[in-house]
Structure 1
């Protein structure tokens, strides 16, 4: 289902207006793909009916819009980290390296890497919270 939706998104990319947010456009297409799939497999036993799928997609869209509100402050806060902490975050969350792999590559124990990640996440949380408060003013 995800692969089919990705193909449809790829085929319809010319219809996307770059002046508008991508997420609502993509979710609209994904919603129609899910509903189409439910319709096409209507006789089969499904775990999700069209009404539930519609409700879930609405909730998910709202949550994604909230997530968009965090992106700019998070980028700002990531930019404020020192190089070592930024590299740690990059390895763990962008390259999806395990704690053990990171620890081995930086010559630290797993526990030390976990503590360092916890501290960096706390810094990022505090910074993003402050950025969001400032943007509300």
Structure 2
């Protein structure tokens, strides 16, 4: 079973129904949101699509929270809801040639669920390894990968040549790969 957050004790819950529901839902959703977002991202072509779908997923999860069975894995239940929302979104965008077929989305969703534990271990190992890098290396990686900046732009902004930046990135990637592989062997 996944590492779910600790659920508050009944006596610690607010006395009103809405407050109890929120006290139970919020920790489960927030602890699963990153994994759920990653799941959705595997089935749609852009971050904008993920954001739109995640809005709908969070609303549906909240509205249907009374259907969730406490003690079961929240993330598994959320994956089912997310897969359904991706299919609905796909139908709305059916004319967009970048959409996968429903069968492909089903296969991707099943595949992701099968590999989810492995992916989570890899993400955890990568997080640990990133923290071991010098601050300047971490900043470079974050700038390149999360801000969609081109190597030439970053090289110009930092006063380096694109070639030297490529070499530096390759060294960082190799260092991260070695670290992640080492972390995974110990798990």
Q: TM-score range by the shorter chain?
A: 0.7 to 0.9
Matches within 5 A, 1:3-14: 5-14=53-62
Aligned residue number for residue 110 of structure 1: 162
Q: 1:103 to 1:28 in 2, by over 3 A?
A: same
Instruction: Answer yes or no: is 1:119 the counterpart of 2:167.
Output: no
TM-score, structure 1 length as denominator? 0.73
Match for residue 101 of structure 2? 48
Partner Cα separation in structure 2 for residue 88 and residue 119 of structure 1? 12
Structure 2 counterpart of 1:82: 134
Contact 1:35 1:53 in 2 (8 A): yes
Aligned to 2:32: none
1:89 to partner: Cα distance: 0.8
Aligned to 2:121: 69
Secondary structure of the structure 2 residue equivalent to 1:12: helix
Distance 1:72 1:29 in 2: 25
Alpha-carbon distance, 1:119 to partner = 0.5
C-alpha contact 1:5 1:29 (8 A) present in aligned 2: no
Deviation at 1:61, TM superposition (A): 2.4
The 1:25/1:92 distance shift into structure 2, 3 A limit, reads farther
Q: Please report how far the alpha carbon of residue 65 of structure 1 lies from its aligned counterpart in structure 2 after TM superposition.
A: 3.5
Q: RMSD value over aligned CA atoms?
A: 3.3
**Relative to structure 2, which stretch is displaced further, 107-116 or 3-12?**
3-12
Shift in alpha-carbon separation, 1:107–1:8, aligned structure 2, 3 A: same
TM-score (norm 2): 0.56
Q: 2:148 matched to which residue of 1?
A: 96
Name the SS for the 1:96 alignment partner: coil
